[in-house]
């Protein structure tokens, strides 16, 4: 039999599945990273539940289109491209999107569902 503390224990490891789908245009030379991990075209990454996520892209030539970024099957880009810098999914220079808090509290705030503890 489990006690109360064991029942409410949350395993925070490998709980965020981040999927990135990129489309390359004009034979680009670029670096796209998620938390400093390099991503090429289509990629799936796993992160701890409470990890802050930082997406960055630097394009030297050509262009990169962010077709889709999803976190635990919730589409983030291009739906919330207004939160990126610059607010676009077509990248020809520098681009970034930062989720500077755990994902679920951030997602509840930007979708207007309030905050969660």
Name the pTM for this structure: 0.86
Distance CA 22, CA 53 (A): 17
CATH of the domain at 22: 2.60.60
Decide if 97 contacts 83 (C-beta within 8 A). Answer: yes
Domain with 45, as residue range(s), is 12-110
Query: Does residue 69 fall inside a structural domain?
Result: yes
Query: Does residue 16 fall inside a structural domain?
Result: yes
Q: Could you tell me which of 16, 33, 43, 7 has the C-alpha nearest to residue 104?
A: 16
Query: Does residue 3 fall inside a structural domain?
Result: no
Query: Does residue 88 fall inside a structural domain?
Result: yes
Decide if 92 contacts 57 (C-beta within 8 A). Answer: no
Query: Does residue 54 fall inside a structural domain?
Result: yes
Query: Does residue 115 fall inside a structural domain?
Result: no
Query: Does residue 1 fall inside a structural domain?
Result: no
pLDDT tens across 3-49, in order? 555 555 566 666 899 999 999 999 999 999 999 999 988 999 999 99
Query: Does residue 40 fall inside a structural domain?
Result: yes
Q: What total of structural domains would you count in the chain? A: 1
DSSP helix, strand, coil percent of the chain (3-state; round to 5): 15, 50, 35
């Amino acid at each position: 039999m489990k006690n109360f503390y064991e029942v409410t224990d949350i395993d925070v490891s490998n709980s965020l599945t981040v999927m990135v789908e990129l489309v390359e245009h004009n034979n680009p030379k670029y670096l796209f990273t998620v938390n400093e991990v390099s991503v090429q075209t289509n990629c799936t990454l796993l992160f701890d539940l409470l990890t802050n996520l930082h997406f960055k892209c630097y394009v030297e030539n050509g262009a990169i289109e962010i077709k889709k970024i999803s976190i635990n099957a919730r589409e983030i880009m291009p739906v919330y491209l207004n939160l990126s810098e610059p607010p676009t999914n077509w990248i020809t220079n520098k681009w970034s999107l930062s989720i500077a808090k755990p994902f679920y509290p951030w997602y509840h705030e930007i979708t207007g569902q309030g905050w969660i503890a």
